[in-house]
Each structure stands twice: as structure tokens, then as C-alpha cells.
Structure 1
């Protein structure tokens, strides 16, 4: 786990060749995707087998639903947000009431539950659909789904390219998965159970769009967002180029050397994404005039951007960025929990997310301390020797609350 934690900061090697399953997944997408008359994409779920018995997942879905309704009795806020989420899901046609499945069809029921964060000021509820739910035979839908190639570019590459531009913009793809439709023949693999106050018994629904929680969902989402770069390149060459290399998951970060070029790029980017059904929200820029023609509801910061005694920053690919001064800042939250084990030291060190190496002098010392705990074969939750703890506490006390790289 420590090795994987450090590898995210390493310069990536040349991309590996596709495995056989990854190639099958790509072929399934290339030959199986289509578009609606409105331009939205329809994709197939890439599976290793077209025959699977997952009907037993209905029992798990029933248990999960019963547990969720028990939580509602003790948390009315959870109940309200959950009901609003499901109502919106159905109103937007992201799910629909399902007919009884045919005896010959593959059917899978996805248990779902709510992750409740009452402290959140935006979205306190996140509904999670579980494609890894096991049947009594020890199999799940995710066992049959092909994950596909990892299409994420190196984070350092995206950030470095972004910083080569004099004028920059950033935007998010709204609800990245849900604009993508799943083929009708595959929707029975995405059945769920739900009921409202008017329902005596749970009703069966089918999810119509790519669903977070399935093993293939990240591949399908990123692959589909890139597809307009091929389909619409002749109409939007600037926007197509951006979609091919200046995007990380649902974040788009790009720019130009002058405002005229950037305005043209921004216009094409909005249009090519809308053609595929992907609206862009939370626009940011280091030049306020570039946002003048963006509706206020689509900007990250509402109203006019003005200087304030406390500089406001926004999360950009895990880093804090100020669009006013066009600088990055590192913020370490103070903690009252004392680190006395290898696990707690690693948790504190993980706050120093530094993909471009700006804080190498600091992160290197943190890594040396973690290495020391491994050299003495310390267990994750065993108390560490006093000399290691003392050194770490002195080091940790020197962290400032805000650090701005030169």
C-alpha cells in the first residue's frame, strides 16, 4: 500500500500494451456504441460472458432496501434527500419502472445505500450502487464485467500542460456518467428495488445510464467523453484536441497564449461537449473577462470576482488554486490526534498531496520516517519507539497552515 501511495508521484513510463481483456473491451465499445438522434451516446456493458445467473442478487437488494428504510426512522434528513435523489433520477429518465424479466434474460439487482455526510454544505448524500454484491455461488456482476484500459493520463502531465498557457480555464463535466445511455439489451443487469410512501411493496426499476459502482463504468465514461473528439473533429478541431489530452476524469484544464484564442477554444469546447450530451459547469479562469459570457449559474464563483483579505482557493485536481492571483497553495488541516503508530503517521503524511514535487524537501522527510517504521518491522497499529515519535512530532509541528510554491 505504501508503494502504491508513492507511485502516484512518479513520472509514468511508456504506456503498456493492452491485455487481451482490455482489447476485447475496446473492441466491444468500438463496434457496439451508437448515438441517439439528439447526439447522446449508447454503450454496451463489456462482459466476459453473455450467459450469467445473477438472479440471486434480488435477495441482497431486498435486505439492503430494508436496512435503508430502518435508517430513515432515525434520520429524516437522510430520508428526504434519498427520496429526492430517486425522484430526480426517475424524472430525468435515468431510471424507469421495469417489467417482469423474461425467463431467458440475464438479470442482476444492484443493492444501493446512502453515504450520509451531514457536515457537507452541497451534497450531504451520495447514493452508492453495489455491482460487487455476491450471490450464494460467490459471484457478482463485476466478476463478469471487463474493466477496460486505464484511460487516465498522468496527473503531472495534465497540470504541467495547463501551466504552459498564459490564460487558462477549467471546467467540470456535470454528472459525468449519467449522460451516457446503456443499451436496452443490457439494462436488466442494472435493476434496483425502490418504493415511495405510496407503494406497499418495492417496485423494480432499471437504470438507463452508466452507473457508478460497476467495474466497467470508469472506462465507459472516459472512453465516451473522448469519442466526440473523433466524431466531431472536423466541426470542432480545437475542442477535439482538448478532449483528447487536457482532461482528467471529469475535469477539463486547458488554455491559450492570448484571450482571442482562448475564447475560440472555450466556445468550441462547450459546443463539442453539448453535442455529446455533456454540459460543462463550474467554470474558472485566471482572467475574469474570459468568464463574462458564461452564465453565472455555470461558474464556480457566483457574481464578480474581487480581491479580499483572505484569498479564496478552489480544488483543482487535488490542489488548491486561486484564480485571482493564479497561484497554487498547500493547506494542511491541524489535527488534535497524536500520531503514535505507523498507520497514523501515514495518514498525516498523506495530506501532503504533491504531484509536481513542489514540496519535495518536506515530503522526502515524511517518507524517510515511514521507511524507518518498516525497517524496524513495525505493525500498523503497534506503538512506535519514542525516538521515532519525537522526531515525527517535531517535524509535524513545523508544518504551516498554508504554503505557496514559488
Structure 2
């Protein structure tokens, strides 16, 4: 950040305010910038920015890989956005007003680095990381940088503790060469003090991993949801509570689906966001809130595999009702030297649609298939190569159907053709036999 006395056109002043985070171990007070505020031109900085292609990795895939390794490590890039410089001719689009005390005059400052809150910030920072992966000759480190980062959080693992330490040290060196220092290193096993000091590791205790709590000494996942019940229960407060329950792997699906079903019932009641909910729904909701505190006592094993595994199986179970449906996946491992181990990998739940369309689809799609269609099961020589035919179009009258010549037919596994290509004035068109009307003329 640089203090300036004049600035060029175009320019943009960023709105900003502070956010206090009591539970943060590094940055208690974080500045939030708003680049979406419109100016006198009715345009904001985010309106004119190109956001670039999406480079964020899938958090679900990262967490699944995180659970398959016996030894894991996590860290984050220190002030990641602030490590990337912006082109000098673009920096006047990141101006702020600031003064140290209330008695000082307002001064204009120019932000020289990528700013959190701008539309292009995620792409610019992630693209710099991807460039480090392209520049390195180590394929393993390149894979870690490309696949194991979610924004500034690194989560990786290996089944060999020494191999994992080597990966962490090399990754830290490569990122540090580009001013991306990794900090707050956490391991789920004991490492020597020299490695701790070299990696600037954090305390070996409870830690958050992409929003999930990780008790590293016991290698357990836990949930840190703290929800306070309000005196007035409305649709807005219920939605707020549900959104606070962070569960990317669906491990709390049986619990969350209860709240989702209650919220769906409110939609059927057609009440406004701030209206009091019916008494029966309020009683069910209060009971749900009271039991929600029990989530803090739940511990889920992070490691889903077992040692000396010879056989690994994935078992998926599904079920449905009129209110909701869901699925869960279990990992079953066993070998000659160990007993059978079954652990929950992930789950997914969803409320049933408010409009019941099952029976309509059943009558339209399934019942119709019960009728025997002999024309599809017996060979008929009604079409031939080079034969002229009209292409049936349900949206046009017959006199406007396209004329074409059959140039190729596609037999199925049973040797019976059901699809053909026709050469028309606009090109080659592929249609089913039921849409082809042969003309009674010689080719």
C-alpha cells in the first residue's frame, strides 16, 4: 500500500471495513473490501473485470483424498492475495481512503497487490500457484500444488511418513521462492523438532481443515457448530441456522435433513420470511435446536483405510420416502492379518420434490414399455441404402418435411437396424426409423 497525492483516470475507490474474528489464531482483525459498489457511471470494479476460468479444486474430492492416507499434513499460505502484485497501470482501480486517527485528515492510498473482494482475485492468486506447478520438474510436487490446494489451504497426505515430510519440505521451498510462505503446519503424527522449526509448524492440537475440525492427536474429525436459538422462530432464522451447519462430506446428513424437511413445510404454508411459523413446526424446530448441541460430541475417524489392506470395497446404500431420499458410501477393508473394517466415507440427502411427478412418469414411461413392440424385435426391409425418404417433424406439416436420401444404417447388437443417416440439402441428419417415411419411388 502506497500513499499518493494524485491519481490517474480511470480510478476506483474501494469501500472497506474491519471484521473481528475472535477464534482466529493469526489474523484477529481482517479487512473486507467491497468492489461491487456502483459509482456515478452505474458500474463497479467487479462489473468491468474478467474473472477468468475457474481454477478452484473440488473441496469434496480434496477431503476424500484426505481420508484415504494414513499420514496427513495441512498448512496455509500466509496472506496469499497480498503476495501477488498488480500491474502498475491497473493499481489506480484499487484506491482507498484512510487515516490513522479521527483527528487526522483523510489520505488516499493505492493498493499494490491483489485485493480480496475483487472478482479476479481468486483466479489471479490460483494462477500464480499453477504456474509454480508448471515450472517445477518434480511431478509429485506439481500434483500436490495442482490438486491438494483449495485457495490458500494445503491438505495432502501419504502412507509413508518420511515421504510426506519430503513432500512438505519441497512444496514449502518451491512456494517460498515465489513469496508464498506456508505456515501453521499441522501433522497427525509426531515429527522431530528440526522439521517443526524448518516448516514453522503450529501447535500440535485441534485444528480446522477446510471447515471441518481435526483432532490431530486422535486423528478424528469433529464438528464445531454453535447455534443459539432465537425467541422468535421464522423462516429466515431457520434458514440461517441450516446454513451454519457446514458438512461437505454429508456425515451429518441424517441430522440436517430434519431441518430441511421442516423448511420445506414452511414453503407449503406460503408464509413470509419474518412471519411466525405454525406452532407444530415451532415445537419440532425447538427440539431440533436442543439436540443440535450433541453434534460437538460426535467424532468420526478421519482414516477410512486399514494397514496391510489386501482388499478394499466400496458399498453404497440408498433409500427414499415421501419426505426425503439419500445415499451413503462405506469403505470396507480386510486382509489375512487384520479384521474387517467398515467406515463411513460420505453421504448425501435431499428433500423430496414438492410436486409429486413419479406417478405421471410411471404411467407415461413405464406402462408404455409393457406393450410388446414387435416392429422393434423383428427384421423389416422397409428401408434401404439410397432410398428417398421424408424426415418426420412433429412441429411441421407433412408438406414441409425435409427430403433426404438414406446413405447409412446402424445395426444394433442383435443385427437389426433402427437408426439411419440421411443426406439432405442442409447436410447429414441422423434419425430413428420411426421418424423416416420412405417414398414409393425407385432410387
Please state if 1:150 is matched with 2:150.
no
Cα deviation, residue 99, structure 1: 5.3
Please state if 1:217 is matched with 2:121.
yes
Q: Deviations over 1:132-189 (max 9, x none)?
A: 2322231122211112223222211000111111110000110010110111121122
Please state if 1:97 is matched with 2:29.
no
Helix, strand or coil: the match of 1:294?
Answer: helix
Aligned residues: 299
5+ residue gaps, structure 1: 1-94, 306-311
Aligned pair in 2 of structure 1 residues 375, 222: CA closer, same or farther (>3 Å)?
same
Separation in structure 2 between the aligned mates of residue 247 and residue 121 of structure 1, nearest angstrom: 20
Equivalent residue number for residue 347 of structure 1: 240
Please state if 1:115 is matched with 2:115.
no
| Aligned pair partner of 1:265 in 167, 171, 179 | 167
Q: Which segment drifts farther, 157-166 or 115-124? A: 115-124
**TM-score normalised to the size of structure 2?**
0.62
Cα deviation, residue 243, structure 1: 0.8
After superposition, residues 3-402 of structure 1 pair within 5 angstroms as: 95-98=1-4, 100-102=6-8, 105-116=9-20, 123-196=27-100, 201-232=105-136, 234=137, 236-289=138-191, 292-295=194-197, 298-301=200-203, 305=204, 313-333=206-226, 335-338=228-231, 340-399=233-292, 400=294, 401-402=296-297
Comparing both structures, which one devotes a greater share of its residues to helix?
Answer: 1
Would the aligned equivalents of 1:339 and 1:389 in 2 still touch at CA under 8 Å?
Answer: no
Separation in structure 1 between the aligned mates of residue 89 and residue 230 of structure 2, nearest angstrom: 52
Would the aligned equivalents of 1:331 and 1:402 in 2 still touch at CA under 8 Å?
Answer: no
Q: Which has the larger radius of gyration?
A: 2
Cα deviation, residue 116, structure 1: 4.4
Whose relative contact order is higher, 1 or 2, with alpha carbons under 8 Å and at least 6 apart? 1
5+ residue gaps, structure 2: 302-443
Would the aligned equivalents of 2:74 and 2:153 in 1 still touch at CA under 8 Å?
Answer: yes
Helix, strand or coil: the match of 1:348?
Answer: helix
Separation in structure 2 between the aligned mates of residue 175 and residue 129 of structure 1, nearest angstrom: 15
Would the aligned equivalents of 1:238 and 1:268 in 2 still touch at CA under 8 Å?
Answer: no
Separation in structure 2 between the aligned mates of residue 291 and residue 362 of structure 1, nearest angstrom: 42
Cα deviation, residue 322, structure 1: 0.7
Comparing both structures, which one devotes a greater share of its residues to strand?
Answer: 2
Aligned pair in 2 of structure 1 residues 114, 352: CA closer, same or farther (>3 Å)?
closer
Helix, strand or coil: the match of 1:321?
Answer: strand
Separation in structure 2 between the aligned mates of residue 323 and residue 139 of structure 1, nearest angstrom: 48
Would the aligned equivalents of 1:178 and 1:211 in 2 still touch at CA under 8 Å?
Answer: yes
Q: Which segment drifts farther, 288-297 or 339-348? A: 288-297
Aligned pair in 2 of structure 1 residues 396, 287: CA closer, same or farther (>3 Å)?
same
Separation in structure 2 between the aligned mates of residue 348 and residue 228 of structure 1, nearest angstrom: 40
Cα deviation, residue 114, structure 1: 2.6
Cα deviation, residue 294, structure 1: 2.4
Helix, strand or coil: the match of 1:365?
Answer: helix
RMSD over aligned CA atoms reads: 2.5
